Amino acid sequence: ARIFFVFSTIVYTLEQDVVGFLEANRINFKEVDITMMEEERQWMYNNIPKDRQPDKGRPVPPQIFNEDQYCGDYEDFFQSKENNTVFTFLGLKPQQPSIKVRSFV
C-alpha cells in the first residue's frame, strides 16, 4: 500500500512562511514541535481560546503565541501580513521585535 500525506507538506510550507517572516524581521521565537511532545501539544490545545477552536477536530499548526498570549493561526498571520499589521498581530511594537514568540509546529 502507498499512502500520500499532502497535509504534512502543506503544514510545513505554512510553518516556513511564518518562520521566514520572523527570521527576516529579527524577531526572537521558539519553534515547538508538537509531533512527539504530548505535553506541549496539550498546552497548545488548552491555550487556544474556545471561540477559536474548530467545530470538528483539533486546531492544526502553525498556531502562534506571544509567550502565553494566543495570537492566532496561519490564516490570521497571513491576513496580518497582507494588511501590514504583523507586529500588532504578534503583540509587538514595530521597534521592539525582541519579545519571544512561540510558534507551534
Tell whether the model's pLDDT for residue 101 goes beyond 80. Answer: no
pLDDT tens for each residue of 38-58: 888 888 899 999 999 989 988
Print the domain residue range for 68: 6-104
CATH of residue 87: 3.40.30.10
pLDDT of residue 58: 86
Length of the chain: 105
Supply the pTM of this predicted model. 0.79
C-alpha cell at 40: 506541549
- Local confidence band at 2 (pLDDT 50, 70, 90 cut-offs): very low
Q: Which residues contact 105 (CB under 8 A, 6 or more apart)?
A: 11, 15, 31, 32, 33, 34, 61, 62
Task: Please check whether residue 1 lies inside any domain of the structure.
Answer: no
Can you tell me the distance from the alpha carbon of 26 to that of 80, in angstroms, rounded to the nearest whole number? 17
Task: Please check whether residue 72 lies inside any domain of the structure.
Answer: yes
pLDDT of residue 104: 67
Total tally of structural domains belonging to the chain: 1
Q: Give the orientation angle of helix 6-24 with respect to helix 74-82, to 10 degrees.
A: 40
